[in-house]
Amino acid sequence: QVQLVESGGGLVQAGDSLRLSCVASGRTFTDLVYSWFRQAPGKEREFVAYINVIVNTIYYGDSVRGRFTISRDNAKSTVYLYMKNLTPEDTAVYYCAAATQPAVSSSTQYDYWGQGTQVTVSS
């Protein structure tokens, strides 16, 4: 069974940076594609970033493009999300997700989910 464990969330001030990590286990790391989603209270789950860990194909959601960077370390079976110039609108629970089939921005296409890590940005 695939397990995804996120870490790195916390309370920061507007303009700060933060790095989230997602450690995958239970399956060969390169058998899956990975994304980050986020969800704020009362809002729909929002696509943040996607990565194909073999060929490094990357996509970003419109709200974070230019500020967030997704990357990975295959040897560590870890996906990262570097977040820069954070604003209060970035406050949400951030989830790591993985899929066995090609998938990008639709949460319904993902087979596995982490427990989430809270990011709170104060003004």
Q: 89 phi and psi, to 5 degrees?
A: -70, -15
Distance CA 81, CA 92 (A): 14
Taking only the tens of pLDDT, the chain with its 123 residues reads 899 999 999 999 999 999 999 999 999 999 999 999 999 999 999 999 999 988 889 999 999 999 999 999 999 999 999 999 999 999 999 999 999 987 889 999 999 999 999 999 999
Predicted pLDDT of residue 53: 87
